[in-house]
């Protein structure tokens, strides 16, 4: 039996079959277009993309590489237009430059990479007849933020000695943002973005002799000699011996106001320093902002931050400035999950315990609030800068790579993508537990968290596993109880988003079932709860990111297409998006119904 067009409102489409086509494949009756590609000019004066004549100057005015998170924001007074914001997580030089010598990158190649990281804001124009979007170049709100743009550190650790460098003795001004993965749009109209695997840019951990410092670096994955991209040869700040604290200025949640082209984006120290996948906000009933964030590492933690102050409504300049400071004062928590079934019933296979569910209760353990630390042996500044170590000390629950998180706008429940963890239950590593129940978890799961009394600032919560991913024919999978012969296979959930109907959309990274990654929709309540349906599949080598579901269009980031072993510019293993003989380019794609109707109704 195969999944059918039948489904919850918003998910009434015939699912795309798993495949390995070098294409974005959408359901029948749906059209698509490439909204913007790596290298397309967005700023005034930027040249057209020329793969054979790239320069850092050109790239600084062009759409960056490896788009990940996406947001579409309204543009008042400009009918048919929206403001697209995209993250550019990382560069893949071997697919960017013909003849790239990984052992000896040139200064120009390194500076192109700095300019290709970061974020883009670019106005997009809707096609009146279809759901297609195209970029509006040279709009006054178009902006590039790169690995060298000015940022401000704010919140309780700003100015800390741990954040001071020779270039910034104040510990408050940073050049650039790195590895911006997922993110969120705040209720006050700004963008949050997570600095994720920042460790890969810093070299020299092997030369650090102080054991305490080496241990801290190791906890953040800094263990090697040279970095992969060799940036340390061109800027001392990427050398951990020459500039010990620069690395502490990455790993934050950044906030960016795309409506103000002159605004200086900030890094929020109050939300802690981890490999943030992203961050998403839910407001409490009294208007405080609660930011949820996962630390994407095997055996790392889920966090939330509860602001002290309330959001101000309205769009006045004063309200905007107030709201942009909300994430500077509050309390940072980490999650501990407790299962309600006997440990002996969690056998590592994914077989449900006798009570019929992987579920239980949990608590948010406070780590710090302003300059007060709740962690023994750590100052508040240390808690913010070495947040992972604070989580270790308080006994937070080691999770299977907490990625994107988002609250349902209908029910308030939080959904957490736990992408996979092939080390779970292996020698010397944490055993399966009810919240992470499978040994060698190749396919990941989705956890649903319900705050006590539906209060986002609660100290306690209930939880259950909503999906245990994989091949539905595998008895160790679970689709919220929906018949498993009527769902699409899904593996390695990564980013999550909600549509206007309250359905959860899940994009995947690293499909371990032998097919390409994709985007899936699933109802979280009602008679179709758990019916996972695949909406698109990705081209060769690509991960699906940034899903964004509007009433009449779906946007996806096609990240790292062609990133496969042995691929180079000269010998590409993908010809997406422009066909044979052209360069493979990460791009944003819009998918829409050819008859102009709403998605999935
Ligand atoms: Fe950049 Fe955790 O994905
Ligand atoms: Ca249970
Ligand atoms: Ca991701
Ligand atoms: Ca990922």
Q: If the chain, 601 residues long, is cut into consecutive pieces of 10 residues, what is the mean pLDDT of each piece?
A: 85 97 97 98 97 98 98 96 98 98 98 98 95 95 98 98 98 98 98 98 96 97 93 98 98 97 97 98 98 98 98 94 98 98 97 97 98 98 98 98 98 98 97 98 98 98 98 97 97 98 98 97 98 98 97 98 98 98 97 96 95
| pLDDT for 1 | 56
Q: What is the pLDDT of residue 439?
A: 98
Alpha carbon of 571 to ligand 3 centroid (Å) = 27
Give me the interface pTM, i.e. the ipTM: 0.94
Ligand 1 contact, 181 CB (< 6 A) = yes
Q: DSSP letters of 191-219?
A: EEEEE--GGGG-B-GGG---HHHHHHHHH
Closest approach atom of ligand 1 to CA 296 = 2
Residues with Cβ within 8 Å of 101's Cβ and at least 6 positions away in sequence, in order, are none
Spacing, Cα 92 to ligand 3 middle (Å): 16
- Kindly give the number of the ligand 1 atom that is closest to the alpha carbon of 403: 2
Output Rg (C-alpha) for the chain, integer angstroms.
23
Contact 439, 424 (CB under 8 A): yes
Phi, psi of 395 (to 5 degrees): 75, 40
In degrees rounded to 5, what are phi and psi of residue 327?
-85, 10
Q: Is 404 in the pocket of ligand 1 (CB under 6 A)?
A: no
Encode 377-408: b = buried (16+ Cβ within 10 Å), e = exposed. ebbbbbbbbbbbbbbbbbebbbbbbbbbbbbb
The predicted pLDDT at position 95 comes to 98
488: CA distance to ligand 1 center in Å? 23
pTM over 0.95: yes
Distance 212 CA to ligand 3 centre (A): 30
pLDDT at 4: 82
* 294 CA to centre of ligand 2 in angstroms: 23
Question: Which ligand 1 atom lies nearest to the CA of residue 89?
Answer: 1
Listed by start position, the domains of the chain span 30-196+251-593
- Please work out whether the CB of residue 89 comes within 6 Å of at least one atom of ligand 1: yes
Ligand 1 pocket, residue 196 CB under 6 Å: yes
Nearest ligand to residue 509 Cα: 4
* 296 pocket-lining for ligand 1 (C-beta < 6 Å): yes
pLDDT of residue 315: 87
Ligand 3 centroid to 194 CA: how many Å? 10
Torsion sign over Cα 591, 593, 595, 597 = negative
Using CA positions, which residue lies closest to atom 1 of ligand 1?
181
Q: How far is the CA of 573 from the centre of ligand 4 (A)?
A: 21
Q: What is the pLDDT of residues 158-217, one digit of tens each?
A: 999 999 999 999 999 999 999 999 999 999 999 999 999 999 999 999 999 999 999 999
Q: For residue 197, which atom of ligand 1 is closest to its CA?
A: 1
- Residues 569, 100: Cα–Cα separation, whole Å: 9
Q: Which residue has the tokens 């999950």?
A: 337
**Exposed e or buried b per residue across 213-231, where buried means at least 16 C-beta atoms within 10 angstroms of its C-beta:** ebebbeebbbeeeebebbb
- Atom number, ligand 1, closest to the C-alpha of residue 181: 1
Q: Is 277 in the pocket of ligand 1 (CB under 6 A)?
A: yes
Q: What is the pLDDT of residues 481-511, one digit of tens each?
A: 999 999 999 999 999 999 999 999 999 999 9
Q: Cα of 545 to ligand 3 centre, how many Å?
A: 7
CATH number of 30-196+251-593: 2.120.10.30
């Amino acid at each position: 039996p195969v999944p059918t067009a039948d489904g919850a409102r918003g998910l009434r489409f015939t699912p795309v079959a798993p495949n390995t086509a070098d294409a974005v494949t959408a359901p029948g009756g749906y059209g698509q277009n490439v909204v913007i590609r790596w290298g397309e000019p967005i700023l005034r004066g930027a040249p057209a993309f020329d793969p054979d004549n790239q320069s850092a100057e050109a790239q600084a005015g062009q759409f960056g590489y490896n788009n990940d998170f996406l947001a579409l924001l309204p543009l008042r007074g400009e009918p048919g237009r929206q403001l697209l914001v995209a993250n550019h997580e990382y560069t893949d030089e071997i697919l960017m430059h013909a003849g790239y010598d990984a052992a000896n990158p040139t200064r120009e190649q390194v500076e192109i990479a700095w300019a290709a990281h970061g974020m883009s804001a670019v106005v997009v124009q809707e096609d009146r007849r279809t759901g297609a979007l195209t970029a509006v170049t040279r709009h006054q709100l178009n902006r590039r933020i790169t690995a060298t743009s000015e940022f401000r550190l704010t919140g309780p650790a700003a100015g800390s000695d741990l954040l001071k460098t020779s270039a910034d003795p104040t510990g408050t001004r940073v050049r650039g943002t790195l590895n911006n993965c997922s993110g969120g749009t705040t209720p006050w109209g700004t963008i949050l973005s997570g600095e994720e695997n920042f460790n890969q840019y810093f070299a020299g951990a092997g030369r650090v002799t102080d054991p305490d410092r080496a241990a801290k670096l190791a906890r953040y994955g800094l263990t090697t000699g040279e970095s992969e991209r060799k940036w340390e040869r061109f800027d001392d700040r990427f050398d951990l011996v020459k500039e010990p604290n620069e690395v502490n200025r990455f790993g934050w949640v950044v906030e960016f106001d795309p409506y103000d082209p002159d605004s200086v984006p900030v890094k929020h120290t109050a939300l802690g320093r981890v490999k943030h996948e992203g961050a998403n906000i839910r407001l409490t009933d009294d208007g405080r902002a609660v930011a949820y964030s996962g630390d994407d590492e095997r055996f790392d933690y889920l966090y939330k931050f509860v602001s002290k102050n309330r959001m101000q409504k309205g769009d006045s300049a004063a309200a905007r400035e107030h709201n942009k400071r909300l994430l500077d004062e509050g309390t940072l928590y980490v999650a501990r999950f407790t299962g309600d079934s006997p440990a002996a019933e969690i056998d590592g296979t994914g077989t449900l315990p006798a009570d019929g569910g992987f579920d239980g209760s949990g608590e948010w353990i406070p780590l710090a609030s302003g300059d007060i630390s709740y962690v023994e042996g750590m100052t508040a500044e240390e808690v913010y800068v070495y947040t992972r170590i604070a989580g270790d000390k308080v006994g937070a629950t080691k999770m299977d790579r907490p990625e994107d998180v988002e609250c349902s706008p209908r029910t308030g429940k939080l959904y957490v993508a736990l992408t996979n963890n092939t080390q779970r239950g292996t020698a010397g590593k944490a055993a399966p537990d009810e919240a992470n129940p499978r040994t060698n978890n190749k396919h990941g799961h989705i956890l649903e968290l319900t705050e006590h009394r539906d209060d986002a600032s609660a100290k306690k919560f209930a939880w259950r596993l909503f999906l245990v991913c994989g091949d539905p024919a595998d008895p160790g999978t679970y689709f919220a109880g929906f018949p498993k012969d009527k769902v699409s296979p899904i593996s390695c959930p990564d980013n999550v988003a909600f549509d206007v109907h309250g359905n959860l959309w899940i994009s995947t990274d690293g499909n371990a079932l032998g097919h390409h990654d994709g985007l899936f929709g699933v109802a979280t309540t009602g008679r179709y709860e758990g019916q996972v349906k695949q909406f698109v599949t990705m081209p060769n080598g690509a991960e699906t990111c940034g899903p964004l579901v509007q009433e009449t269009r779906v946007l996806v980031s096609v990240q790292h297409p062609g990133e496969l072993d042995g691929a180079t510019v000269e010998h590409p293993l993908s010809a997406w998006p422009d066909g044979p003989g052209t360069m493979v380019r990460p791009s944003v794609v819009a998918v829409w119904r050819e008859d102009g109707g709403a998605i999935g109704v």
